[in-house]
């Protein structure tokens, strides 16, 4: 679920996306570079590629229509059990379970499940409970049997969305609003005074710092860039030359000379950029420099003018770097 602050950020992206690629046919036929450019800033670029590949499959194999069967959904790129369940239940009101972070939290507290929900056995049990709930919703307004002493009423679409909303707004990770919860009287964690300790999730892996030096190199009104290779993080996106520099004593001048074979004619430091990718905490130290070399550059590098740079899909950190350069122009 998107919080209000996120909605303000994301909506303009989707407005632009829907204006330029309003249907499956237009998305399937779009240039991949255009799809990545429209997705720029949202992260998780594999999702953009999967979205276009799905549109292409739908256009060829499903006559441009999204399938209603969950098995057909699971065959599409990037769609797993959760996504197919969400589409099946919310779009088509089919009895498909959903298990996201909010629902996991609701169910572990409701049934006082003390084991880590990411463990295979516990995760399987949670899926079974979610499945049971949607099946009861589908069968009508019937009292639940066994461990569910309350009545389930309404379509499974409403049930799944209600569980997600309950976890997002009431049964929150910290400071849950138990006094306002409609399931408070049935919640085993509340009865046992264990709400704050559940779910018991193992500590996440420690974050790893990574330091990079980037160079905004200009020559005759053009800038030096390279495209990230297929299979790498942020594959096919563009970036300024940058190099990991975790060794002590590795100065920007040394890095520049090592990579380009010439000594830079003055490096102007720009504002440091910090960002995160999964467990990595990146620090990008950018420097602006004119190009004075005559040596032939590696094939991975290309020169692009400002208009061309603006049209490229840059990684998030390097889009921030480009904005700095534009603001200084």
pLDDT score for 140? 62
Q: What is the pLDDT of residues 189-216, one digit of tens each?
A: 999 999 999 999 888 778 899 999 999 9
Residue 73 in domain: no
Position 272 pLDDT exceeds 80: yes
Residue 202 in domain: no
Return mean pLDDT, the chain.
87
pLDDT score for 147? 47
DSSP 8-state code for residue 87: I
Residue 70 in domain: no
Q: What is the pLDDT of residues 114-165, one digit of tens each?
A: 999 999 999 999 999 999 888 888 876 544 444 454 545 557 888 899 999 9
Residues 193 and 305 in one domain: no
Q: What angle do CA 144, 150, 155 make, to 5 degrees?
A: 70
The region of weakest confidence among 44-48, 132-136, 141-145, 276-280 is 141-145
pLDDT score for 109? 97
Q: Which of 197, 219, 239 is the last residue of a domain?
A: 197
For residues 164 and 130, the answer to whether their CB atoms sit within 8 Å is no
pLDDT score for 265? 82
CATH number for the domain that contains residue 113 = 1.10.1670.10
| Residue 268: strand pairing partners | 288
Residues 224 and 292 in one domain: yes
Position 250 pLDDT exceeds 60: yes
The number of distinct structural domains making up the chain is: 3
Range of the domain at 159: 101-197
pLDDT score for 294? 64
pLDDT score for 203? 80
Give the pLDDT band of residue 308 (cuts 50, 70, 90).
very high
Position 299 pLDDT exceeds 90: no
Would you call 244 helix, strand, or coil by DSSP? strand
Q: What is the pLDDT of residues 4-32, one digit of tens each?
A: 333 444 456 677 888 889 999 999 999 99
Other C-beta atoms within 10 Å of 314: how many? Answer: 23
Other C-beta atoms within 10 Å of 58: how many? Answer: 20
Residue 165 in domain: yes
Other C-beta atoms within 10 Å of 126: how many? Answer: 19
Proportion of the chain above pLDDT 70, given as a percent:
90
pLDDT score for 153? 53
């Amino acid at each position: 679920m998107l919080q209000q602050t996120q909605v303000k950020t994301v909506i303009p992206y989707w407005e632009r996306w829907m204006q330029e690629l309003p249907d499956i046919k237009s998305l399937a036929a779009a240039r991949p570079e255009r799809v990545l450019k429209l997705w720029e800033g949202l992260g998780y670029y594999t999702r953009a590629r999967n979205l276009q590949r799905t549109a292409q499959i739908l256009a060829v194999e499903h006559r441009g229509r999204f399938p209603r069967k969950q098995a057909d959904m699971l065959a599409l790129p990037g769609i797993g059990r959760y996504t197919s369940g969400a589409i099946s239940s919310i779009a088509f009101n089919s009895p498909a379970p959903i298990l996201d972070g909010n629902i996991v939290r609701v169910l572990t507290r409701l049934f006082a499940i003390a084991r880590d929900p990411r463990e295979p056995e516990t995760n399987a049990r949670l899926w079974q409970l979610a499945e049971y709930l949607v099946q009861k919703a589908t069968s009508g307004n019937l009292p639940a049997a066994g461990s569910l002493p309350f009545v389930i009423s309404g379509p499974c679409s409403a049930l799944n969305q209600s569980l997600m909303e309950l976890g997002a707004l009431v049964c929150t990770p910290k400071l849950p609003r138990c006094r306002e919860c409609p399931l408070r009287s049935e919640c085993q964690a509340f009865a046992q005074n264990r709400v704050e300790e559940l779910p018991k999730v193992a500590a996440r892996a420690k974050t790893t710092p990574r330091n990079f030096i980037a160079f905004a190199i200009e020559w005759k009104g053009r800038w030096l860039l390279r495209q990230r290779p297929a299979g790498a993080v942020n594959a096919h996106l563009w970036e300024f030359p940058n190099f990991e520099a975790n060794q002590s004593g590795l100065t920007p001048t040394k890095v520049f000379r090592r990579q380009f074979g010439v000594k830079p004619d003055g490096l102007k430091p720009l504002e440091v950029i910090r960002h995160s990718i999964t467990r990595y905490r990146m620090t990008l130290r950018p420097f602006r420099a004119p190009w004075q070399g005559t040596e032939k550059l590696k094939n991975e590098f290309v020169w692009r003018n400002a208009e061309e740079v603006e049209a490229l899909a840059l990684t998030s950190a390097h889009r921030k770097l480009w904005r700095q350069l534009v603001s200084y122009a």
